[in-house]
Structures are given as structure tokens and as C-alpha cells.
A and B are shown apart, each in its own frame.
Chain A
Amino acid sequence: GAVVSQHPSRVICKSGTSVKIECRSLDFQATTMFWYRQFPKQSLMLMATSNEGSKATYEQGVEKDKFLINHASLTLSTLTVTSAHPEDSSFYICSARDLEGLRTGELFFGEGSRLTVL
């Protein structure tokens, strides 16, 4: 299957700083990537849909000024958590579909990034 890589896998930062997480599709082009957040023992919650060359579409309740998404190329989307606070500590996961996935809807997930804000 298609490979999606996410970096960094773990990050610890101080409250008030910004953190950037990268999501790359390694062997396919992804016009659309999805960013999810998962709190402990909870399911994945879709935060936003990242569209190459245009603005991201945010889910209700997700602050677009706090979670900046940039999808500058067909293989890279970035999520920047601005002015992070302890309540932003979570597991952030990106996902994408390859051409076959456009038909089936199957998503390939990155390895996830665990953010801890002190």
C-alpha cells in the first residue's frame, strides 16, 4: 500500500511556543490530506482537510488560527500548532489517499506525532 510519513514522531515543547508537524506521501501524490487528533483512549477526531494549493477546510470547533495547515505541494502537508498549551497535548495523525483510494476511500495513515506541551 501507499506510504505516508509523519515527522516528528514525538515532540515536547513549552507552553506558548509553536510546533510544526510534517506529513509526506512518499510514493504517491496526494491532492488531499486529512489531519486527525486523538486523545488517550478516545477515537480519531477529524480536525481539517488539507487541499493542495488552496485553504484547508476545518471541522466545526477547530480553530483555524491555532492549527495552521499548509499544503504547498502534492506530497507535503504541514500542521502548525501555534501558541501551544497543555490542553493541546495529543496524538496528531495525518492521512492521505492514493489513486486507488480515491475509488475505495481507503486512507493511509502516517505514524502519528505525539505532542506534549509542558
Chain B
Amino acid sequence: GQNIDQPTEMTATEGAIVQINCTYQTSGFNGLFWYQQHAGEAPTFLSYNVLDGLEEKGRFSSFLSRSKGYSYLLLKELQMKDSASYLCALRGGGGNKLTFGTGTQLKVEL
């Protein structure tokens, strides 16, 4: 089976940097994804890691350590519009389906 853990809530200041952690256990690993979801909307893709290391994409970066079962999403130069839920998702355990964590609700304040 699979198990994914993320903090429930985080608060950060506009312009700052925030790191959202995700730890996981899985019987088979085939990629880790981060999605952003605003309230009442569908998730949108942010990043994908399948190898260890850092993937950078503009203000967003994602890091993966497969040996530690650990990933983080780094958001730089925070903007108010970044207030949303950030979902860590695993592909693995057989098949191509994604399993989502419970999400981290990020609140960006002035």
C-alpha cells in the first residue's frame, strides 16, 4: 500500500519563501507529483520528480530523495494568489494511478 504525510496547514508572508514537506511509504515508486488546488477548483500540475534531486520551474522547485521517502515543494517570492492547497501525489504500488496526500493548506499573508 501507500502512505503519504503532509502538514495540514502553513502560513507564510508575501515575498517570503516557504517549504512544504511530504513523506511517503510505498511498495513501488514511479514518480512524485505536486499539484496546486484553489478552493472549489480542480488541481493543476506543478512539478514531477522521478529521480533524486531538485527540479526548478520558475518560482516553484521540488526536491526528491527516494532513499528517505521524502519530497518538498519550495515556493519563492510568495504572492497572495499562492494561497491554496498543495497536494503531494505518488505514482506507484502497481498501475499508473496517482494517490494523493491530504494536502497542505497554505495561507499567504501581508
* B residues apposed to A, CB below 8 Å: 30-31, 33, 40-45, 48, 87, 91, 95-103
Could you tell me if B43 and A105 are in contact, using CB atoms closer than 8 angstroms?
no
Q: Give me 7 A-to-B residue pairs in the complex whose CB atoms sit less than 8 angstroms apart, sorted by A's number.
A: A34-B97, A43-B101, A49-B97, A102-B96, A105-B48, A112-B41, A114-B40
A47, chain B: closest CB distance, angstroms: 11
Could you tell me if B42 and A105 are in contact, using CB atoms closer than 8 angstroms?
no
**Nearest residue, chain A, Cβ from B96:** A105
Could you tell me if B41 and A105 are in contact, using CB atoms closer than 8 angstroms?
no
A-B residue pair count with CB separations less than 8 angstroms: 52
Could you tell me if A42 and B102 are in contact, using CB atoms closer than 8 angstroms?
yes
When A34-B97, A105-B30, A107-B98 are in contact, do A44 and B43 touch as well, CB less than 8 Å? yes
**Nearest residue, chain A, Cβ from B8:** A41
Which residues of B are found within 8 Å of A43, using beta-carbon distances? 87, 100-103
8 Å CB contact of A109 from B30, B44, B96, B99: B44
When A44-B87, A105-B48 are in contact, do A111 and B42 touch as well, CB less than 8 Å? yes
Kindly supply a per-residue 1/0 record for chain A positions 36-60, scoring 1 wherever the CB is within 8 Å of any chain B CB and 0 otherwise: 1000001111100100000000000
Could you tell me if B48 and A106 are in contact, using CB atoms closer than 8 angstroms?
yes
Other contacts beyond A43-B87, A106-B33: 5, CB < 8 A? A46-B97, A49-B95, A109-B44, A110-B42, A112-B41
**Nearest residue, chain B, Cβ from A91:** B40
- A77 within 8 A of partner (CB): no
Which residues of A are found within 8 Å of B33, using beta-carbon distances? 105-107
Could you tell me if A44 and B97 are in contact, using CB atoms closer than 8 angstroms?
no
Which residues of A are found within 8 Å of B40, using beta-carbon distances? 91, 112, 114
Could you tell me if A109 and B43 are in contact, using CB atoms closer than 8 angstroms?
yes
Which residues of A are found within 8 Å of B102, using beta-carbon distances? 42-43
> In chain A, residues 20-47, which have Cβ atoms closer than 8 Å to a Cβ of chain B?
32, 34, 36, 42-46
What CA separation (Å) do A14 and B95 show in the bound complex?
A: 37
